[in-house]
Structure 1
Amino acid sequence: MIYELNHVGGPVRDLEATLAFYGELGAEVVDRLFMSGPGVDRVHIQLATGLVELLHHREPAAQASYGLNHIGFMTDDLDGDYARLVGLGYGEISAPRVAGSGQGRLAFLADPNGVRVELLQRSEEFRVPPITSGRVRGLAYVGVAAPDLAAAVEFYGSHLGMERVADDTFRLGSDAVRLLPSATSSIGHLGLASAAGGSDAEDPDGNRIVFVGGAF
């Protein structure tokens, strides 16, 4: 069963610049390791309740792209959930395998709009209690591209088992996805709850940050 929206993640060009940007918002590093096989630094930062996975290739390909490019969900039955979703017609990207970190197993598939979805099964827990010392009071949502809105609603609501909390927003665990019909990238933006609100921003890799005012 898929039971948690675990993280949003993607490759970063300059790890220290990205850590500094999110640190200014109150994020804390909750996990950091080097995967020697692919030569990748993997860092999980936590913003309030939400995990962001940063992947830094020490020797990136010449045409490497950067920015948030997937959302990860925890499951207690990786093989069964992957087979079920592929059997429903969702695109295979990477079949279940041991994670490069050696921490559990993972698989990738595509949602009906081509957004990369990672399924994870592992015993390690990186999330810590909510961080309340910074400007950000919550990861309000991860905005995902959904030009075919009806298909996305079926995928996240029916097949991933997320709770529909608004017409375009689904929650599973502490965090949520918001479906964005007009988004031009797979991860359209991050919605961050801030008591003071604020102007939209971009992180060092061009990921758009939208500040949502009010309590969270």
Structure 2
Amino acid sequence: MIYELNHVGGRVRDLDASLEFYGGLGAEVVDRLFMSGSRVNRVHIQLATGLVELLHHEEPDEQATYGLNHVGFMTDDLDGDYARLMALGYDELSSPRVAGSGQGRLAFLSDPNGVRVELLQRSEEFRVPPITSGAVQAFSYVGVAAPDLDAAAEFYGTHLGMEQVADDTFRLGADAVKLLPSATTTIDHLGLAGTPSGNPVADPDGNRVAFA
């Protein structure tokens, strides 16, 4: 069973710059690991309740795309949930395998609008109690592209088991996804509650952060 929206993550150009940006919002580092096989630094930071996974490759790659590019969900039955979603016709990106970190197993698939979805089965828990000492008082949602809104609602609500808490918003565990028909990137922005308010800002890789 899929039981938690665990994180939003992606590749960063400059890990220190990203940590400085999110640290300025009150984020705390809750996990740090170097994956020697791929030579990737993986850092989980927490904003309020939400985990953000920063992946920094030591070897530069001119062809790489940077920024948030997937949402990760926890499951207690990776093989069963992945097979069920494949049988429903969703696109396979990476079949179940041992994670590069060695922490459990993972798989990737695509939602109906091309958003990369990671399924994770592991025993490690990186989340700490809600952090409310900085500018971010709540992690409201991850905004994901949903030009086909009905198909996205069926995927997240019916097939991932998320609770619909608004016309366009689905929650599982502490955090939520918001479906955005007009988004121009698969992960459009992070919706946060707190201060500062006003126009969205962006992290060093161009990921938008919107306060409400």
TM-score if structure 2 supplies the norm length?
0.99
Q: Distance in 1 between matches of 2:199 and 2:48?
A: 19
User: Sequence identity, in percent?
Assistant: 79
Q: Distance in 2 between matches of 1:92 and 1:187?
A: 19
Structure 1 counterpart SS, 2:68: coil
The aligned counterpart of 1:85 is: 85
Structure 1 counterpart SS, 2:147: coil
The aligned counterpart of 2:10 is: 10
Structure 1 counterpart SS, 2:164: strand
The aligned counterpart of 1:108 is: 108
- Does residue 98 of structure 2 align to residue 98 of structure 1? yes
Q: Distance in 1 between matches of 2:40 and 2:196?
A: 36
Structure 2 counterpart SS, 1:112: coil
Structure 2 counterpart SS, 1:68: strand
Q: Distance in 1 between matches of 2:198 and 2:151?
A: 32
The aligned counterpart of 2:37 is: 37
| AA of the residue aligned to 1:127 | R
Please report how far the alpha carbon of residue 196 of structure 1 lies from its aligned counterpart in structure 2 after TM superposition.
5.2
CA RMSD of aligned residues (A): 0.7
- Unaligned residue ranges in structure 1 (runs of 5+): none
The aligned counterpart of 1:181 is: 181
Number of corresponding residues = 212
Q: Distance in 2 between matches of 1:197 and 1:208?
A: 13
The aligned counterpart of 1:68 is: 68
The aligned counterpart of 1:53 is: 53
Q: Distance in 1 between matches of 2:74 and 2:82?
A: 12
| AA of the residue aligned to 1:84 | R
Counting only pairs closer than 5 Å after superposition, residues 138-157 of structure 1 correspond to structure 2 as 138-157=138-157
Structure 1 counterpart SS, 2:29: strand
- Does residue 172 of structure 2 align to residue 172 of structure 1? yes
The aligned counterpart of 1:136 is: 136
The aligned counterpart of 1:27 is: 27
The aligned counterpart of 2:205 is: 205
- Unaligned residue ranges in structure 2 (runs of 5+): none
Q: 97-106 or 189-198: which moved more?
A: 189-198
Please report how far the alpha carbon of residue 195 of structure 1 lies from its aligned counterpart in structure 2 after TM superposition.
5.2
Please report how far the alpha carbon of residue 198 of structure 1 lies from its aligned counterpart in structure 2 after TM superposition.
3.3
Please report how far the alpha carbon of residue 27 of structure 1 lies from its aligned counterpart in structure 2 after TM superposition.
0.1
Q: Structure 1, residues 175-194: CA drift from partner, whole Å, max 9, x if none?
A: 00000000010001100111
Q: Displaced runs of 4+ in structure 1, greater than 3 A?
A: none
CA change 1:67–1:176 in 2 (3 A) is same
Please report how far the alpha carbon of residue 40 of structure 1 lies from its aligned counterpart in structure 2 after TM superposition.
0.2
